[in-house]
A = this chain, B = another copy of it.
Amino acid sequence: MTKTDILIIGGGPAGVVAAVTARKNNPTKKITLIREKERGVIPCGIPYIFNRLNSAEKNLMPDKPLEINKVNLIIDKLIKIDPLNKKAILKKGKEISYKKLILATGSEPILIPIKGIDKKGVWQIKKDFEYLKKMRQEVLKSKNITIIGGGFIGVELAEELSSIKKLNINIIERSNHCLITTFDKEFAIAAEEELKKKGVKIHSKATVKEIIGKDKVESIKLENGKTITTDLVILSIGAKQNIALAKEAGIKIGKSGGVRVNNYMETNVKDIFAIGDCTETRCLLTKKDIPVMLASTACHEARIATANLYKKKELLKNKGTLGTFSTFIDNLALGVVGLNENTAQKKGFKTITGTSEAPNHHPGALPNTQIIKVKLVFSKSSGVLLGGQIMGPESIGEMINILALAVQQKTSIYDFGTLQIATHPLLTASPTNYPLITAAQSALAKIN
C-alpha cells in the first residue's frame, strides 16, 4: 500500500491549487493528487477553444505546477474511500493510505428530460479533453447551432461561435433575458444587445419541447410552436456536484446536493476536507446556500482548506462565498459581485442604489475610449456595499475586483465618498468623474 500525507482527489482548479498551496504550507509532507483523465482542461477556457485559441490542445491545464511542487500525480479513478482505515482504493487496484484527504471531485453538466436529447449532435460542456476535441470538430463542420441555456457558459459560447462567419447561432433561454439570474435587467439587456450585433438570435421566455431528427439533430421545436433548424445542439443548463464517492464514505451531503463543509472546509468525517464544485456554498452576505460553481470560488476554498489542514487558523477561514463573475462579449466586459438590486430585495434587504457612467480615458477624445457604466447596491440601514455591477472595456475585469474587495472589507457608502484612487488619461476615467465614486455619491444623495 502506498502511503501519502495529503491525498487530493481531483485535478481541476481546486485540486491543483490545493496541491500547490499544501506544498507551500507543508514543505516536507508527501502530497499525492489523483486525476481520472490523462489530461486536464481549463474549465473557463472551454468556450474559447473554438476560435480564439483555435484548438482544444491550447486549453490544457499544465501539469508543471504539480511537478515544481513535487506533487505525486496518479492517473486513475478513485472507486472507494475508506475513512475508518484512512485509505483510498483506486480502479486499477492500488490502495493509498492518507493522513489528510481533500475531495475536489467537481461537477458535471446536467441533462434535462427533453424528448430527443439522446440524438446524435447533442453536446454538453464536459471538462473532458477528448470529448471537447471531437465536439470542436463537429461544431466547425456545422452551420446552424442552437445553445440551450443563456447563462455565462451559453452566452460566452454563443459569442465565440458567432465570430466564425459561416455559423448561425441561436440561444434558447427560459427566462426573460440571458444572464438575468446574476445581473440586473439593464446589464443583461446590454449583454444581449452585443450578442445580437454579432448575429446571435436569442429566443427568450422559451423552452424546448422536442429535439427533432432521424438519428441526428435536424431541428428544435419550442413549446411556443417555433421550429429552429439546427445541426448541432449545445446544452449549457447547469451542473450537478459529483458526490457519489463522498456519500458512500458516509460524508454528509447538504440540502443543495453538495458536500457539507464548515468554515475550514472540513466535512463531518475527521481529516476529510472538501473543496470546489462538489461542496455546498453559503453566501457571505445572506449566509444562505447559493448555487455558485466557479473556478475562482474553488481556488479560494482550496487555499483555505490547505491553510487549515494540520492546524486551524482563525484568520484563514471561509467567511462565506461571494458570487463574483465577469464576462466579455464582443468588446463589452461585464462584471458583477455580491447581490444585485433584484436579488438584494428578494433576500429582504432594503437597498439604496447609485449609478454612474464615465469614459475610460480622459479626455474622452483619446483613441479607443469606451464608456464605463456602474451600479452599486448599498444596504439602506448600514450603508455597507452589498454588491455592484460594471460594464465597459476590458479594464472592467479588474475594476469589478475593487468591488469584490469592497464587499469583503465591509466598505460603506462613506468609504466610497472618501475613496482615493489612481487615475491616468490612458488607463482610467477622470479623477473628477471616477465612476465608482460618483455612483456612491449618487446613492449618498438619496440618503441625505
Residues of A within 8 A of B (CB): 13, 16-17, 20-21, 24-25, 42, 44-45, 47-48, 52-53, 58-60, 65, 284, 294-300, 303-304, 307, 315-319, 321-322, 324-328, 333, 335-337, 362-363, 365-367, 394-402, 404-406, 408-412, 414-415, 417-428, 430-432, 434, 437, 441, 445, 448
Contact = CB atoms under 8 A, between A and B. Distances in A.
9 contacts: A42-B430, A48-B425, A48-B426, A52-B426, A296-B423, A327-B424, A333-B427, A394-B394, A394-B426
Contacts of A427: 326, 328, 333, 394, 396-398
A321 B421 CA distance: 10
A442 to B, nearest CB: 8
* Those 7 A-B pairs whose CB atoms lie nearest each other, nearest first: A397-B427, A324-B422, A315-B414, A296-B431, A409-B409, A58-B365, A398-B399
A317 B415 CA distance: 10
Contacts of A410: 409
A330 to B, nearest CB: 11
A321 B420 contact: yes
A397 B366 CA distance: 16
A423 B431 CA distance: 26
Contacts of A406: 405, 409
A428 B13 contact: no
Contacts of A316: 414, 417-418
Could you say how many copies of this chain the assembly holds? Answer: 2
Nearest to A322: B420
Contact of A365 (B17, B53, B424): B53
A296 B421 contact: yes
Contacts of A430: 13, 42
A60 to B, nearest CB: 8
A119 B233 CA distance: 75
B326 A44 contact: no
A153 to B, nearest CB: 12
A44 B424 contact: yes
B367 A52 contact: yes
Contacts of A319: 418
Given A394-B395, A405-B411, 18 more contacts: A42-B363, A44-B423, A59-B365, A294-B431, A296-B421, A303-B437, A315-B414, A316-B414, A316-B417, A324-B421, A326-B423, A333-B427, A394-B426, A398-B399, A398-B401, A398-B402, A404-B421, A405-B421
Contacts of A52: 366-367, 426
A441 B17 CA distance: 12
A394 to B, nearest CB: 6
A300 B425 CA distance: 17
Contacts of A362: 42, 44-45
A415 B303 CA distance: 12
B422 A397 contact: yes
